Structure formats: structure tokens, C-alpha cells
Amino acid sequence: MIFTRFIKYLKVTVLTIVIFSICFLKFDLNAQNSSIPVFGNWKNFTVKDGLPSDKTYCVRIDGDRVLVGTHDGLAVYENNTWKTYTSEDGLAHNGVLSIDVCKLTGDVWIGTMGGLTRWVSGKFENFNQFNSGMPNDLIYSVICDEKYVWVATGGGAGQYNTHTKKWEIFTEENAPMHEPWTYGVCAGDDNIYIAAWGGGVIEYAKKTKKFRDHVDPDGNMEIDLFPDDGVVHDITTGTSWANGNLWVATYFGLSKYDGVHWKGYFDHDSGLASNFINYVKAEGSVAYLCTDKGLSCTDGTNWVTYTKNKNNVNGKVVFTKGENIKEITMSPSISHNFTLGVDIKKDVIWVATSKGISRGELKK
């Protein structure tokens, strides 16, 4: 009788400890990463589900539909169904690298490997070097900024005035670039920020139309000799501005600029999945970073990183703050660790990877 009571007591005690541990872990993670939303319930889409290609380069949420740039066309997800548009439908090129939607008109602008496409009222209008004076047909990034459309291309950055229908081109000849290769562009705080390959970040003041460059004071080196002295590397791959902060992606780490001070982050001293960053998207106080080893999210102090296992659909989410690191298993996880694009809207996140597109829901 005494032994039976002891066993019951032991079971209750163990159960209490387990419940307390789970609640404590949940509380600790939420408190530690309170400004970073955590996503789960991942659903992955590939060619088996209706995508034209598993190679997805970018994604943009547009109201009730989702626009995905793939290697073989533009994929549109609406009413739980995928529809594909290709060059046969009027797209400039099947390789879609960037997408943005104009807030003023609702026009969809599509950057491809062979020109820029405007999609409006079901019709495609194409722009290239020959018919419009665009700097280059290889469009890595496109953004809409009021009446202007900006592109980062293989031959410089371009500004298109949708009212006058004229282009203004920026290269090493009229801007502080080392070469005309540009990878990313964003707008913020009355400025345009251009990620120039080998030239750091080019800041263009819209009011004065003057340039200012931000480069790594150490030069093109894989080691950041003097931390937080500027952008971590001159080989920049993307820029994104939000909440007074400019986030800069490079192939050698991440930079954050508040207009006065620079801060650098690396995979060896933070929760960053990899220094090789393909894309950055800032939303509020959080930056979402697409790397070759997973998706990382940070507010500059806390980190949440999603990765997939090699041999199955499962993965993990890693919470990092300083030396405090916690891991939770996720089933399933994102489609692939090589991530190339991301977009967020309220309770939903979409992630473009080299092997499909992933959709996650906010965990509450």
C-alpha cells in the first residue's frame, strides 16, 4: 500500500515537473524573443503541387494571392490553386528574379532575366534596353516608390518615371560605384539604397539627387578587421529599410545602420545561419535573412533560425540570445535550406527556396 502510494506520488511529481518545464521553456523563449514572431505549421509546394519549377527565386504577397518568381515562369497562388504565366503569355522572360506591387495603382512589376514586365489588367508590358532605354535586361531587384520604379540590374541601377515614361540610369560614370553591377535596391527615409556589387551601398537622396557611398573601411577582405566601422563587406547582395534602420545583406555577413552607427553580425557571434546572405527583408523591427543554410530572423539582439534536416522533411527552429541557445524540432520544416526570397503579411510568411516554396503560420 505504501509502495503504491509512493509510485502515484512519484508519477504526479514527474508530471508536474514536465508541465512546469514546458511552460517555463515556452515563457522563456517568448520573453527572450518577444519582438520576433515565430512561425510553424509549414506547408511546402513543389512542381507536384502545381509550381512550374522547384527553383523559386522570390515571393510577394499581394492581397489574397501570392506571386512567386520561379526559373520557369511566374506562379500565382490564389484560391488554393496555382496558375503559371510564361513568355508565351507575354512575360519578358521565364526566369523571374524579383516582384513588387505598386501601392498607388496595383500594377505588378516583374524583374526577369531578360527584361522588366509590368502586369496590369491581365496584360503584360515589357521593357528592355532597346525599347525603353533601361540600363540592362538582367533585373535582380525591382521596387515601386510612388510614381517611380527602381531596378537593380547587371548594368547599373535605373529609375523609371511612370508619368513621363523615361529612364534615368546610374552607373560608375555618374554615381560612386566601382562597377555597374547592382544586386538590390530599397527605399526608406527619403532615400534610395542600392546594393552595388563590390561597391557597398549607394545612398541616393531623392530631394537633393545627390549620392553618398557606404563601403567597408577594411576593403574587400573576408575578415572584418575593425568591427562596426561600416558595412561588413563591399560585396552587397541586398538592402531593406524599416523602422529607421537600414539592413544590408552581403556574402560575408549582415550589417545594420541606424543613420549614424553601423553594427555587424556574423554566423560565429550571433544566431545568423550563414554569412552567405542571398536576400534581406525588413518588416517592422525584424529583419528576415535568406541564407544558403536556412532562414534567420533578428531584431539585432534576438535570433530565430529555421533549418531543414538533410534526410527528411523535418527540421528545427533555433532561438539565440547571446550565448543562450535553445532548439525545438519542427515537423515539417521549410522546403530547403538554400533560401532566396521571403515575404511576410500579418500571420503568414512565405519563403522561396531552391527546392520549392514554403508557407508558415504564426504560432500563438
Residues 170-222 pLDDT 10s: 999 999 998 899 999 999 999 999 999 999 999 999 999 999 999 988 876 77
Task: Determine contact, residues 262/228, Cβ cutoff 8 Å.
Answer: yes
Phi, psi dihedral angles at 122 (to 5 degrees) = 80, 0
Domain ranges of the chain: 1-32, 38-362
- Report the C-alpha gap between 263 and 332 in whole angstroms: 34
**Who has greater pLDDT, 124 or 179?**
124
Task: Give the per-residue pLDDT at 220.
Answer: 66
Query: What kind and span of H or E run contains 59?
Result: strand 56-62
- Report the C-alpha gap between 148 and 167 in whole angstroms: 10
The CATH architecture to which 38-362 belongs is 7 Propeller (2.130)
The sign one gets for the Cα dihedral 30, 59, 113, 172 is negative
- Report the C-alpha gap between 291 and 277 in whole angstroms: 4
pLDDT level of residue 34 (50, 70, 90 thresholds): low
Task: Give the per-residue pLDDT at 27.
Answer: 35
Task: Give the per-residue pLDDT at 218.
Answer: 80
- Report the C-alpha gap between 323 and 300 in whole angstroms: 14
Q: How far is CA 263 from CA 51, 67, 228, 250, 316, in A?
A: 39, 33, 5, 13, 27
Cβ atoms < 10 Å from Cβ of 19? 10
Between 20-24, 209-213, 230-234, 353-357, the lowest mean confidence (pLDDT) is in: 20-24
DSSP 356: E
First to last CA, the chain: 44
**Who has greater pLDDT, 216 or 57?**
57
Task: Determine contact, residues 43/361, Cβ cutoff 8 Å.
Answer: no
Q: Is the pLDDT of residue 327 over 50?
A: yes
pLDDT level of residue 35 (50, 70, 90 thresholds): confident
Average pLDDT of the chain, as a whole number: 90
Residue with cell 535586361: 137
pLDDT level of residue 227 (50, 70, 90 thresholds): confident
Q: Residues 320-349: what's their mean pLDDT? A: 96
Q: Is the pLDDT of residue 146 over 50?
A: yes
